[in-house]
Amino acid sequence: MKLKQSISVFIAVFFGLVTLIALLFNVSGISTVILGWASFLAAIALILGVLNLLAVHLTRLFGERNLYSGVLVLGMLA
């Protein structure tokens, strides 16, 4: 695995564990802040993923005339 990928995986696992610990052990105000940030980052990641998927499949739909990409785009918009 490349160094850049290793760092990304480490950061994701670290913050996932911190979020899990915040859920299991209710530490006063810190858990609220951590869960707020985790929710915010998850929402941003979801939006970026959907936009990336939409961009890739719209390019395939209009470039290669790929029917399955059209079905996926219609399914996402429904």
pLDDT over 70 at 10, yes or no: yes
CB atoms within 10 A of CB 60: 17
Burial tier of 26 (Cβ tally within 10 Å: 0-12, 13-18, 19+): exposed
Residue range of the domain that includes 38 = 3-77
Confidence of residue 44 (pLDDT cuts 50, 70, 90): very high
Number of domains, the chain: 1
Confidence of residue 48 (pLDDT cuts 50, 70, 90): very high
18 within 8 A of 34, measured Cβ to Cβ = yes
Who contacts 34 (Cβ-Cβ below 8 Å, separation ≥6)? 18, 19, 22
pLDDT over 80 at 26, yes or no: no
pTM score, two decimals? Answer: 0.67
Distance CA(14)–CA(12), nearest Å, equals 5
